[in-house]
């Protein structure tokens, strides 16, 4: 259990040390007026306080990813702890903070618009399509997962189809109504369930003296699956997740002050990592690898969550823990569709004050999502994992270019960008859902692409800096009056 305690301590320390360093490098300014005020529209641009924003951000980013991912990642053994800790501090926290703060500096812009501004206009169109695909996949995954968990708690007369329909209905309402009407009011209640779930499972592990394994770099996966690149895609939320880049701009439009950014963006990433640590530790301590592998193959991660909760907290406490887990995907699914609606609206330049404008953009997404629920969950998860980390790669390159153009230390974003570029391309070149090439060719191809990306970044940065013209990285609208 020493590894577990040390990991939690390092994560908390990372927020106060490396998080502060990232904030200083970025240069947050308290006197700048944020888009929540300059673009206030009563729908998406609505000033909200730090506690409210932080809780919404946590619930937005913490879907089933920091639970299902770590449970599946637990098959690799305690090496998973290492990725959660280092990934969250040096990659995930940086990713979330930069995407949130750069968005604040650019009128609450979403990733496609930021990619277009900092990586080129062609990237804007590509990232726009990619982001919408990711968000619809996320929304679909986050319908299927909570529906499966609720199906095990409700009477037989309430069918799985009925539960799916209810969740979709909630998503439609939360996507279309102003952010402070549904999301802003319900999330504090949902947050309480989340805390009960995480604290309950973590406390049970400590009180019962669960045999949480100590750190080893050995690959313990029963099927012998390679740590690289699979572990880094299996555990995304909780370490580094591109989905967060689609969520942070929602809160960038409600943040009152730039100085609140470290707590809202970097801090909630660290909180998510602690949740991931708890579930990974629980899976490793309460099941042996073969038993866990069997349950995952036969019944999926939702079944593991149910068993872990009941085993740790009993029938009543376990049910509360399961409800907390159900809350996570639902509170990410609704904002996934909301983000998609906002991205499409920005792209086609349609104002969102009118209810009808929000409705005609949102409804087609839900029609597509309903169709995707018919696809096997495991297939959806594989595509989601790859799309998720590919989005993280793009967001980190945006952050690196932003800092580079300001002649600031871009390496805090460039190094994790290089790493996740290698991970995502190795996976898609080798995976059956991708090009299905041999391992040596996949590694070599990914390495060449990563090197090319590095040269393209350095060359592009030098060209823009050598033009001798003022480079506008922040929109003037955000300046203090």
Within a domain: residue 429?
Answer: no
pLDDT in tens, 317-341: 788 777 777 776 787 788 888 888 8
pTM for the structure as a whole: 0.88
pLDDT in tens, 376-407: 666 766 777 888 899 999 999 999 999 999 99
pLDDT in tens, 89-113: 999 999 999 999 999 999 999 898 9
pLDDT at residue 258 greater than cutoff 80: yes
Surface-to-core class of residue 437, CB atoms within 10 Å of its CB (0-12 exposed, 13-18 middle, 19+ buried):
middle
Write out the residue range of the structural domain in which residue 187 sits. 2-387
Are 336 and 219 a contacting pair, CB within 8 Å?
no
Within a domain: residue 150?
Answer: yes
Minimum mean pLDDT range among 289-293, 349-353, 468-472: 468-472
pLDDT class for 448, splitting at 50, 70, 90? Answer: very high
- The set of residues, in sequence order, having a beta carbon less than 8 Å from that of 48 and lying 6+ positions away, is 36, 56, 180, 184, 254, 255, 256
- The set of residues, in sequence order, having a beta carbon less than 8 Å from that of 324 and lying 6+ positions away, is 193, 194, 195, 196, 197, 198, 200
Return the pLDDT at 478. Answer: 45
Within a domain: residue 213?
Answer: yes
Minimum mean pLDDT range among 16-30, 212-226, 339-353, 368-382: 368-382
- The CATH number of the domain holding residue 85 is 1.20.1740.10
| Average pLDDT of the residues in 301-320 | 83
pLDDT class for 237, splitting at 50, 70, 90? Answer: confident
Return the pLDDT at 342. Answer: 85
Within a domain: residue 473?
Answer: no
pLDDT in tens, 270-295: 999 999 999 999 999 999 999 999 99
State how many domains the chain has: 1
Cis geometry, peptide bond prior to residue 27 (ω within 30 degrees of 0) = no
pLDDT class for 469, splitting at 50, 70, 90? Answer: low
Within a domain: residue 38?
Answer: yes
Name the nearest CA neighbour of 396 among 170, 21, 127, 13: 127
Residue 283 CA to residue 294 CA, distance in Å, equals 13
Please report how many Cα atoms fall inside a 13 Å half-sphere around the Cα of residue 74, on the Cβ side: 31
Surface-to-core class of residue 156, CB atoms within 10 Å of its CB (0-12 exposed, 13-18 middle, 19+ buried):
exposed
Within a domain: residue 443?
Answer: no
């Amino acid at each position: 259990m020493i590894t577990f305690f040390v990991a939690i301590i390092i994560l908390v320390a990372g927020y106060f040390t490396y998080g502060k360093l990232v904030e200083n490098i970025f240069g947050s300014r308290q006197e700048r007026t944020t888009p929540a005020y300059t673009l206030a529209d009563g729908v998406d641009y609505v000033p909200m306080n730090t506690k409210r924003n932080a809780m919404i951000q946590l619930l937005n980013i913490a879907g089933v990813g920091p639970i299902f991912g770590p449970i599946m990642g637990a098959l690799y053994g305690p090496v998973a702890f290492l990725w959660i800790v280092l990934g969250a501090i040096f990659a995930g926290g940086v990713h979330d903070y930069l995407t949130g703060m750069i968005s604040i500096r650019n009128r609450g812009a979403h990733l496609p618009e930021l990619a277009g501004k900092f990586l080129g206009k062609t990237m804007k169109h590509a990232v726009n399509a990619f982001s919408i695909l990711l968000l619809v996949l996320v929304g679909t995954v986050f319908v299927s997962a909570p529906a499966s968990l609720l199906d095990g708690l409700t009477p037989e007369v309430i069918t799985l189809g009925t539960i799916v329909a209810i969740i979709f209905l909630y998503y439609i309402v939360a996507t279309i109504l102003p952010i402070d009407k549904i999301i802003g009011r319900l999330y504090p209640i949902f947050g309480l369930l989340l805390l009960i779930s995480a604290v309950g499972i973590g406390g049970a592990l400590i009180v019962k003296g669960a045999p949480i394994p100590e750190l080893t770099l050995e690959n313990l996966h029963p099927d012998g699956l390679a740590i690289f690149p699979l572990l880094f895609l299996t555990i995304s939320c909780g370490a580094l997740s591109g989905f967060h880049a689609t969520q942070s701009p929602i809160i960038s439009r409600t943040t009152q002050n730039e100085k609140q950014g470290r707590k809202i963006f970097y801090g909630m990433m660290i909180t998510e990592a602690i949740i991931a640590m708890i579930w990974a530790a629980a899976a490793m301590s309460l099941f042996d690898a073969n038993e866990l592998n069997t349950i995952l193959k036969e019944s999926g991660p939702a079944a593991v969550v149910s068993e872990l909760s009941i085993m740790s907290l009993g029938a009543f406490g376990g049910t509360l823990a399961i409800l907390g887990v159900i809350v996570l995907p639902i509170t990410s699914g609704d904002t996934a569709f909301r983000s998609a609606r906002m991205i499409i609206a920005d792209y086609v330049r349609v104002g969102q004050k009118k209810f009808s404008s929000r409705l005609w953009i949102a409804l087609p997404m839900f029609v597509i999502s309903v169709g995707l629920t018919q696809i096997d969950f495991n297939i959806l998860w594989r595509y989601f994992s790859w799309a998720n980390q590919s989005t993280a790669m793009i967001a980190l390159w945006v952050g690196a270019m932003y800092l580079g153009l300001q002649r600031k230390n871009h390496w805090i974003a460039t190094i994790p960008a290089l790493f996740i570029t290698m991970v995502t391309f190795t996976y898609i070149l080798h995976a059956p859902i991708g090009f299905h090439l041999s391992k040596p060719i996949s590694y070599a191809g990914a390495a060449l692409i990563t090197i090319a990306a590095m040269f393209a970044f350095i060359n592009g940065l030098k060209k823009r800096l050598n033009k001798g013209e003022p480079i506008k990285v922040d929109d003037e609208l955000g300046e203090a009056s």
